[in-house]
Structure 1
Amino acid sequence: MNIAERFPKSRHSPADNRPHAIIIGAGVGGLTTGALLGAKGYRVTILDPLDEPGGRAYAHRQDGFTFDAGPTIITAPWLFENLWRDCGGRLSDDVDLRPNTPFYRVRFDEGTVFDYSGDRAAMEAQIARIEPRDVAGYRSFLDESRRIYEVAFEQLAHKPFHSLLFTAKTLARLVRLGGYRSVYSVVSKHFRSDKLRTLFSFHPLLIGGNPFSATSFYCLIAHLEGKYGVHHAMGGTNALVRGIASLVTRNGGRIRLEETVTEIVTEGRRATGVRLASGERIAADIVISNADPATTYGKLLKAHPRRRWTDAKLARGDYSMSLFVWYFGTSRRYDDVQHHTMLFGPRYRGLLDDIFRNHRLAEDFSLYLHRPTASDPSLAPPGCDAFYVLSPVPNLDSKTDWTETAESYRRKIEQRLEETVLPDLSRHVVTSRIATPIDFRDRLLSWQGAAFALEPKLFQSAWFRPHNKSEELDNLFLCGAGTHPGAGLPGVVSSARIVADLVPDPVTLLAGTWQQDARDSRS
């Protein structure tokens, strides 16, 4: 299926002789890469097995409700403004981004509520009510977060870590930043209160990381949010996806949906195209994979001899947790519930140990509740609310039988929501659907059903992560959550930027000089 007719008319035609870039996957990373490569002068074809673009940022529409499937928190809006600028447009012409205030409402298990925002005075007042001595710790934590942000995000997030020499040169700076420490250990240095240690360390969970093992570089999120805010897109995050898809087609690109790539076709050290499940083979000058890197190397390149990302190395990787997500609509509105709510359970470290280390589905849980109709009533019928609630769970290494467990787990979550923030919920649910780790494996083709690819630990970050320019093939590139710099909307957009900078100039491909340049660079 070709969706060009839903967007501004494509200039892609059979006579188009621009170098051809095939992109596997129409997630945010793949779409952003396609938009940038189209603006750079490539003929772009994006292939995706789903019936709509978005990947994890897909939208479910049922019974008059719209549910974003995955990412709902938009930070660093300037990344998208720059994308539209470089593609000859303005973000505001296609997407309406609006700030959230507060960023999140956090509810602790015993009922304490904390509104997390960019208002430092309001934050300090709430901190003082929990632990007055931690106000100074909050100030010192924000200062450390800023220092990490200025190096790890501003200077390194858009740089490829392909070279050991480059990695060695930056290692001293990374050590000075304390990248060998975990997020939780850095937060604990600044805060005495266990509640506040939880509050200021949970952010890695939003990108698949365990706060007790994720590198402290992710402490930068506090500064990033404080500086640029937390935003949402009117119409849902998928409205942003549709906007990026329109940038692809405006520059002549095609997005072919319900097309599954089964193999990257190779010749020597070059990818020559892809083969689809239908048997069709499509030739390409360069190939970009927005798929999970373990799927890229372990399945799409299964027949190709690999030097670094062998089956054995892929099997040894530590993969992120998965997610259980319940999407539901209600016949009433809950106007005292914020756009974003975090509901912490009775355990923090113990629960995370069960998820990440023990690979055991625990009896308790912590939840993220998304109520987009707090800001955008158009996502539900009049007088109704749209929600999703997300519970971090182990990936499929846990051997949990989700075909047997899903409904009982959903009922436990429903009961907890009724007891805390959504009274009489069970009487008002009018539409419902769930996603389990099986959906991440089978629908999104994620290795082990992991929701965020490799876990973002120090030795699975930067140079240690699958590179944006493949180590296995000269003209294969990787974008998305599984490569550098990592998961989250800023991470996948930055990965697309890296790829757009790494690919050869299309003029050199037309002149036939790039292959010689690639051979020379290896000699």
Structure 2
Amino acid sequence: MGEYRKSSSKRSVIVVGAGPGGLAAAMLLAQRGISVQVFEKQDVIGGRNAELRLGEYSFDLGPTFLMMKFLLDELFAEGGRRSSDYLAFKKLDPMYALKFPDKTMLVRSQPDAMKAEIEKHFPGDGANLDRFLARESLRFAKLYPCLQKQYGTVASMMSPTLLAAAPHIAAGQSLYSVLGDYFRSEELRLAFTFQSKYLGMSPWDCPGLFAMIPYTEHAHGVYHVMGGLSRISHALADVAASEGAEIHTSSPVARVLLEGRRVVGVELTTGEKVFADDVVINADFGHAMATLFDERALGRHKPAKLRKRKFSCSTFMMYLGLNRTYDAEHHTIVFARDYKRNIEAISRGQASFDDLSVYVRNSSKVDPYVAPSGHSALYILAPVPNNISGIDWDEYKIEMRTQVLRTIRERTEYGDLAPYIQRELIITPRDWERKHSVFLGATFNMAHSWDQMLYLRPHNEFEEFSNCYLVGGGTHPGSGLPTIFESARISANLICKKYEVPHPTAKPLEVVLA
């Protein structure tokens, strides 16, 4: 049995999981002079931000929207680099197409074009976009700094930053309610609230403060990365490696090593023990609690207790390689004919296939790297209940596939996809849990309800053990690529502060956007 010892010359950190949060933390720590080793159990990096290949077709396994690009730019800039030297970005316009039962609205990236589109479909509401952007810019300016801080103590909830933001959190209001302050039409409100699905939540349950998500789309744009958003993870890994970080794939961690309540390293499934000053956990939070720690050592985060907390919905995924191209927009969202009923059924854990909401990503429209010439790589997602529902996906998988393809055939310009399918992979909630280590198959992690945010969410400096830090969607600030990157910066900064390692602080928003 092999054994590695920490460097005697400088501090050392182990990162468990090479997802975007773990790789961002590795990059930041390595370029600050800390010795970093990353252990990833899969044979590829990226976690849910990995590339999925089916023959000559390339897909993103998970995230497909890049928002708040300025945050990613800032992480690269810290090391004197430009993200554009590693990644080719394309700002999308239209950002996406929205399919309502009787109309299709193109969501434009420029305010004047967007106002015209609103006025075309919802006469009298176009001018309200200006009011939305003006008021929500203030909310965003107040709330964004709160995302950059850690909330490891009750006292942190009384920080000046959070107190200044308090009047803007829309306490007691849902996201749908907040958008009702701007737009009269129910369908138009959905155009600015469906983004709650990025958090795996319903617009009617999602806290109103998350109006900053549609705001940042309209204010700062939605981007594609050529080759797929999985290229972001590769760029982070390249920088981390150039700074001396070691990234080990096909290296599953069996358990986190403890001395009392202090984390001292990890043991791999091979039996090798790797020691370090600190361990950063980027594995799915619930899965990590269930597999990396002895349950007897855990307190409030025992798996049995976690199952009683609120988790996001799951997703039914189809990745299709087709031998033809489509002129459809890069992103298309098809709303169920009765969207609220669809969302409520998902929240109740019901298998309802007669009226689906479906998302289709047609990256081949702008990206020649994802499919052979004349072919398309379509990414298809339908929100469904997580595995608390007890749905037997082995039984329902084929029926769900049929209904997803029917929805696309009847509600979009794609028509009948079936004759053109060359390669296909389906991922069900059960697959997310069993094959991709997603606790309960909840692809957007713990829900972002009031009782599971800030101090009440698992802390970046993990409260159960010392020398242990969390990054990813299960800790503060939450799920989604931008907030996952921010969690990496928070945890990296906490480690550096502990050892008095010089590091920059996050720049004020007005400086970042200047």
Q: TM-score, normalised by structure 1?
A: 0.90
Aligned residue identity for 2:105: F
Q: Which of residues 335, 343, 348 is equivalent to 1:357?
A: 348
Change (3 A) 1:77 1:508: closer
- 5 Å matches for 1:2-401? 17-110=9-102, 112-153=103-144, 155-169=145-159, 170=162, 173-335=165-327, 337-401=328-392
- Give yes or no for contact 1:187–1:200 (8 Å, CA) kept in 2: yes
User: Using the alignment, how far apart are the partners of 1:341 and 1:32 within structure 2?
Assistant: 29
1:315 to partner: Cα distance: 2.2
Tell me, what secondary structure is at the counterpart of 1:135? coil
Change (3 A) 1:178 1:478: same
1:172 to partner: Cα distance: 7.0
CA-to-partner distance for each residue in 1:351-385, whole Å, 9 max, x for gaps? 11111234444432111100111111221111111
Change (3 A) 1:357 1:148: farther
- Give yes or no for contact 1:20–1:44 (8 Å, CA) kept in 2: yes
Equivalence for 1:422: 414
Q: Structure 1: any 5+ residue segments left out of the alignment?
A: 1-11, 510-523
Q: Percent identity over the alignment?
A: 32
- Give yes or no for contact 1:341–1:368 (8 Å, CA) kept in 2: yes
- Give yes or no for contact 1:19–1:506 (8 Å, CA) kept in 2: no
- Give yes or no for contact 2:358–2:407 (8 Å, CA) kept in 1: no
Change (3 A) 1:207 1:176: closer
- Give yes or no for contact 1:41–1:506 (8 Å, CA) kept in 2: no
- Give yes or no for contact 1:202–1:211 (8 Å, CA) kept in 2: yes
Equivalence for 1:515: none
1:433 to partner: Cα distance: 0.7
- Higher mean alpha-carbon deviation, 202-211 vs 289-298, is at 289-298
Tell me, what secondary structure is at the counterpart of 2:369? helix
User: Using the alignment, how far apart are the partners of 2:265 and 2:30 within structure 1?
Assistant: 18
User: Using the alignment, how far apart are the partners of 2:5 and 2:80 within structure 1?
Assistant: 21
Aligned residue identity for 1:400: I
- Higher mean alpha-carbon deviation, 161-170 vs 425-434, is at 161-170
Q: TM-score, normalised by structure 2?
A: 0.92
1:117 to partner: Cα distance: 1.8
CA-to-partner distance for each residue in 1:140-193, whole Å, 9 max, x for gaps? 32233212211111x111111112122134357325431432111111222211
Equivalence for 2:444: 452
- Give yes or no for contact 1:308–1:471 (8 Å, CA) kept in 2: no
Tell me, what secondary structure is at the counterpart of 1:486? coil
- Give yes or no for contact 2:19–2:46 (8 Å, CA) kept in 1: yes
Equivalence for 2:488: 496
Change (3 A) 1:501 1:333: same
User: Using the alignment, how far apart are the partners of 1:451 and 1:345 within structure 2?
Assistant: 20
1:132 to partner: Cα distance: 2.3
- Give yes or no for contact 1:145–1:221 (8 Å, CA) kept in 2: no
CA-to-partner distance for each residue in 1:94-131, whole Å, 9 max, x for gaps? 11111111111111123x01111222222222222333
Equivalence for 1:406: 397
- Higher mean alpha-carbon deviation, 387-396 vs 276-285, is at 276-285
- Higher mean alpha-carbon deviation, 401-410 vs 22-31, is at 401-410
1:63 to partner: Cα distance: 2.3
Tell me, what secondary structure is at the counterpart of 2:436? coil
- Give yes or no for contact 2:17–2:283 (8 Å, CA) kept in 1: yes
- Give yes or no for contact 1:272–1:285 (8 Å, CA) kept in 2: yes
Tell me, what secondary structure is at the counterpart of 2:297? coil
Q: Structure 2: any 5+ residue segments left out of the alignment?
A: 502-514
Equivalence for 1:518: none
Equivalence for 2:505: none
Change (3 A) 1:168 1:16: closer
User: Using the alignment, how far apart are the partners of 1:374 and 1:311 within structure 2?
Assistant: 43
- Give yes or no for contact 1:395–1:437 (8 Å, CA) kept in 2: yes
- Give yes or no for contact 2:6–2:12 (8 Å, CA) kept in 1: no
Equivalence for 1:479: 471
User: Using the alignment, how far apart are the partners of 1:329 and 1:466 within structure 2?
Assistant: 39
- Give yes or no for contact 2:95–2:108 (8 Å, CA) kept in 1: yes
RMSD, matched Cα: 2.0
Change (3 A) 1:90 1:126: closer
Aligned residue identity for 2:397: A
- Give yes or no for contact 2:5–2:275 (8 Å, CA) kept in 1: no
User: Using the alignment, how far apart are the partners of 1:507 and 1:424 within structure 2?
Assistant: 59
